[in-house]
């Protein structure tokens, strides 16, 4: 009778060990799958961040080019105005010089 009980306990222990091993194996598979999913998620997030960053950079570059064009156009207008004013002053200076030469000063 004791042999039967000991045998039954050993079978139960063996079954319990088998269940524990299967559970550990399942846990390892679940953990491995979780790591793999996490890696894929991280890669996808990195790719999306890079794409968004490129879009932001392109948008900012476009704005900067627009502002640079506006500054260039404004500078060209100012340059033309200064050139016109300078030409007027040259005309005045020439007239003054001619007047002084003619008057003998």
Tens of pLDDT, residue by residue over 18-72, are 999 999 999 999 999 999 999 999 999 999 999 999 999 999 999 999 999 999 9
**Residues, the chain:** 105
Task: Classify the C-alpha dihedral 53-57-58-59 as positive or negative.
Answer: positive
| Model pTM score | 0.54
Q: What pLDDT is recorded for position 93?
A: 76
Nearest partner of 10 among 41, 21, 2, judged by Cα: 2
d(CA 44, CA 40): 6
User: pLDDT value at position 61?
Assistant: 97
At residue 74, does pLDDT exceed 80?
A: yes
pLDDT band at 99, cuts 50/70/90? Answer: confident
Neighbours of 80 (CB within 10 A): 10
What does R_g of the chain's alpha carbons equal in angstroms?
45
């Amino acid at each position: 009778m004791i042999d039967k009980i000991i045998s039954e306990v050993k079978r139960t222990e063996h079954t319990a060990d088998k269940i524990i091993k299967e559970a550990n194996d399942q846990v390892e598979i679940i953990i491995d799958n979780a790591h793999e999913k996490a890696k894929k998620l991280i890669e996808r997030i990195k790719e999306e961040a890079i794409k968004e960053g490129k879009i932001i950079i392109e948008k900012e570059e476009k704005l900067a080019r627009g502002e640079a064009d506006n500054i260039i156009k404004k500078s060209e207008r100012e340059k033309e105005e200064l050139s016109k004013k300078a030409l007027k002053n040259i005309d005045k200076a020439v007239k003054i010089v001619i007047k002084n030469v003619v008057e003998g000063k």
